[in-house]
Amino acid sequence: MSDPVKLIEPRTLKGFRDYLPELMIPREWMLEQARRVYRSYGFAPIDTPALEYAEILLGKGGEESDKQIYRFRDSGDRDIALRFDLTIPFARFAAQYIGELGTPFKRYHMGPVWRGENIQRGRYREFWQCDFDTIGTTSNAADIEVSLVIHDLMRGLNLDRFVIHVNNRLVLNGLLEELGLAGHTAPLLRALDKLPKIGRDGVLAEMAANTGVAAAQADRLLALAQTSGSNQDILARLKSDFGTNPKAADGIRRLEELLAAATKAGIPDGMIVLDLSIARGLDYYTGTVYETFLTDMPKIGSVCSGGRYDNLAGLYTKQHLPGVGASLGLDRLLAALEELKLLKGTATPAPVFIVQFTAERIGDYQRMARVLRAAGIGAEVFPDAKKLGQQFQYAEKRGHKIALIAGPDDFAAGTWNVKDLAKREEKKGVPDAEVAAFVRSLLPV
RNA sequence: GUGGGUGUAGCUCAGUUGGUUAGAGCUCCAGAUUGUGGAUCUGGCUGUCGCCGGUUCGAGUCCGGUCAUCCACCCCA
């Protein structure tokens, strides 16, 4: 006996995941839906490299995101980094090609991004984003369209229990300006955001500690943020309190128009809500901001977020390239759907399973499989002539919908037995030429 | 990066004040059932008790470290 081979433990990096068929089938389906919805609005596909020069990516999203960027030296000693999101590479891309693309330009981009942060449920170090953006226009029509795309995207993914939260940085900035707090925007908004967790007094304490603002100012800010009620109620309150500030007025107008247009376009009431606490997002957002939460799992975080950035490509070109867009967090949403048990659990993309009753007839089984495939129906022939029970168990485990069975007697008669695996109902004696049509009638449209 | 919980078979877990050959259910495999799968019965496989070290006559059990995972902070998809 030789020494046992030292086995390498099979494992994946922290925060990186493998996808088995049960998860990859719905994941691919989600990508198809996102692609379909984006294309239906005229967004065109692009792709960019996973690796960029570090200088392209660093310093664009804020200090926190810089810390999370995977950065290396390649073998040519170049300072390179894995992309942190798809928006920054798009800014570089747009600056490079806008001359031939022309404006406005609408693109979608789906691919993996990497963030070296601590992992949590729905939070990974490698995950896919599905971005769509319109650049080259400041028109509010583009902002409005983003909310429609998010809605259609979620509906396209068979979800109806979600809420799109919108806000506008102009409103927040104008509001802080009006209060004379413009210099403390970031810490104030961060404190404000904790309202549900640490309460009114906690927020006031944090504001005082981090910014030294007067209690009266902080109080006024808090009072506004706590305004509850319908979108109309909040808009009215904003207008009366801060409508005289030019920035705030512009933001309020854009939000009001967005909400009205969305309703007019057919988005159901309650699916888009004005939420003044949606203040965060990356540093480059300047206008409308969006976050989408699942009603049944809000704690997993936003599954589709974005906003308007009026100067994104400014670091790479002197041409002014405003834009607005959002990003579907594919893997976070998948994790949520998995936990909510909304995934079907199919492990095969082929609905039809053909039993190998007898090895001598393998040619006939493969012929029928090809007939079905030609009819657009995926079909798989079992590789071994095992006992029928075992083959059925395999087919059931994999999630095949239909089984075809034919033995010597059936071949003599020129017929097949077609079995609905879920219902356990079998139609015997289906003529060879009619099998495809019959199978089609059993499958969902 | 900080704080806390958890790590025993493929999965979910039990394991009594540290004591000898570490268990259950489910799954899986085979058979009862050589033209038909969710039930039942019979038999069977599976563990460096996350890893490393320490205390001890003796550690799955106690201690330290480490890794992984979950939760909170932070940030975000």
- pLDDT at position A6, please? 56
* Nucleotide nearest A391 (Cα, C1'): B37
Q: How many angstroms separate the CA atoms of A133 and A30, rounded? A: 19
Q: What is the mean pLDDT of residues A319-325?
A: 92
Instruction: Check if residue A193 sits with its Cβ under 7 angstroms from strand B.
Output: yes
Judged by DSSP in three states, A172 sits in helix
Question: Once rounded to an integer, what is the mean pLDDT over residues A166-182?
Answer: 86
Q: Is the pLDDT of residue A169 over 60?
A: yes
Report how far residue A417's alpha carbon sits from residue A399's, in angstroms, rounded to the nearest whole number. Answer: 19
pLDDT recorded at residue A17: 84
Q: How confident is the model at residue A359 (pLDDT cuts 50, 70, 90)?
A: confident
pLDDT at residue A398 tops 90: no
Å: A111 CA to B11 C1': 32
Return the higher-pLDDT residue of A160 and A444.
A160
Mean predicted confidence (pLDDT) in A322-345: 87
Q: What is the mean pLDDT of residues A347-360?
A: 89
CA atom of A74 to C1′ atom of B2, Å: 32
* Per-residue model confidence (pLDDT) at position A196: 63
A73-131 residue pLDDT tens:
889 999 999 999 999 999 999 999 999 999 899 999 999 999 988 888 888 999 999 99
| % chain A with pLDDT above 70 | 96
- pLDDT: is A229 or A84 the higher one? A84
Closest nucleotide to A129, Cα to C1': B77
Instruction: Report CA(A8)–C1'(B57) in Å, whole number.
Output: 36
> Within 66-105 of chain A, which residues have Cβ less than 7 Å from strand B?
68, 85
Binning pLDDT at 50, 70 and 90, where does residue A282 land?
low
Q: Is the distance between the Cβ of A120 and the closest atom of strand B smaller than 7 Å? A: yes
Say whether pLDDT at A396 is over 70. yes
Q: What is the mean pLDDT of the segment spanning A414-443?
A: 92
A344 touches strand B (CB under 7 A): no
Please report, rounded to whole angstroms, the spatial distance between the CA atom of protein residue A199 and the C1' atom of nucleotide B70: 26
pLDDT at A405: 93
Check: CB of residue A68 under 8 Å from CB of residue A116: yes
Arch. (CATH architecture) of A21-339:
2-Layer Sandwich (3.30)
Q: Which residue has the higher pLDDT, A284 or A428?
A: A428
Is the pLDDT score of A281 beyond 70?
no
Q: Are strands A402-405 and A71-73 parallel, antiparallel or unpaired?
A: unpaired
The reply to whether A387 Cβ lies less than 7 angstroms from strand B is yes
CB of A417 lies under 7 Å from some atom of strand B: yes
Read off the pLDDT of each residue in A210-235 and give the average, rounded to a whole number.
80
Residues spanned by CATH 3.40.50.800 within chain A?
352-442
User: From CA A57, how far away is CA A59, in angstroms rounded?
Assistant: 7
**CB A426 under 7 Å to nucleic chain B:** yes
- In angstroms, the CA of A11 and the C1' of B56 are apart by 35
Output the pLDDT for position A341: 77
Residue of higher predicted confidence among A428 and A3? A428
Distance in Å from B52's C1' to A5's CA comes to 22
What CATH number is given for A352-442 in this structure?
Answer: 3.40.50.800
- The confidence score (pLDDT) of residue A3 equals 38
Q: Is the CB of A231 under 7 A from strand B?
A: no
What pLDDT was estimated at residue A280? 63
Q: Is the pLDDT of residue A5 over 60?
A: no
**pLDDT band with cut points at 50, 70 and 90 for residue A18:** confident
Asked if strand B contacts A189 at the CB level, meaning under 7 A, the answer is no
**Which pair of tokens denotes residue A389?**
């029970």
Q: What is the pLDDT of residue A61?
A: 67
Evaluate the omega torsion of the peptide bond into residue A104 and state whether it is cis, within 30 degrees of 0: yes
- Residue A142 backbone phi and psi in degrees, to 5: -70, -40
Q: In this predicted model, what pLDDT tens digit does every residue of A82-98 receive, in sequence order?
A: 999 999 999 999 999 99
Query: Which of the nucleotides lies closest to A326 (Cα–C1')?
Result: B77
pLDDT of residue A138: 94
Q: Tens of pLDDT along A38-71?
A: 999 999 999 999 999 999 998 776 677 788 899 8
Reply yes or no on whether the pLDDT at A322 is more than 90: yes
Q: Is the CB of A303 under 7 A from strand B?
A: yes
The answer to whether the C-beta of A407 is closer than 7 A to strand B is yes
Q: Which nucleotide is nearest to A87 (CA to C1')?
A: B77
| Residues A163, A339: Cα–Cα separation, whole Å | 19
According to CATH, where is 3.30.930.10 located in chain A? 21-339
Which of A166-175, A337-346, A413-422 is least confident? A337-346
CA pair distance A384, A359, nearest whole angstrom:
7
Predicted local confidence at residue A209, as pLDDT = 74
Judge if the beta carbon of A294 is closer than 7 A to nucleic acid strand B: no
Q: Are A178 and A248 in contact (CB under 8 A)?
A: yes
Per the structure block, which two tokens stand in for A54? 């570090």
Asked if A361 CB < 7 A from strand B, the reply is no
Q: Which residue has the higher pLDDT, A317 or A214?
A: A317
Do A366 and A380 form a contact (C-beta atoms < 8 A)?
no
Q: What is the mean pLDDT of chain A?
A: 88
Query: Could you check: is the Cβ of residue A348 within 7 Å of any atom of nucleic acid strand B?
Result: no
Whether A421 CB is under 7 Å from strand B:
yes
Q: Is the CB of A307 under 7 A from strand B?
A: no
Q: Where is pLDDT greater, at A133 or A188?
A: A133
Give A365-383 pLDDT, tens digit per residue. 999 999 999 999 999 998 8
Closest C1' nucleotide to A13's CA: B68
Strand B–CB A305 distance below 7 A: yes
Worst-scoring range by mean pLDDT, A63-67, A333-337, A405-409, A439-443?
A63-67
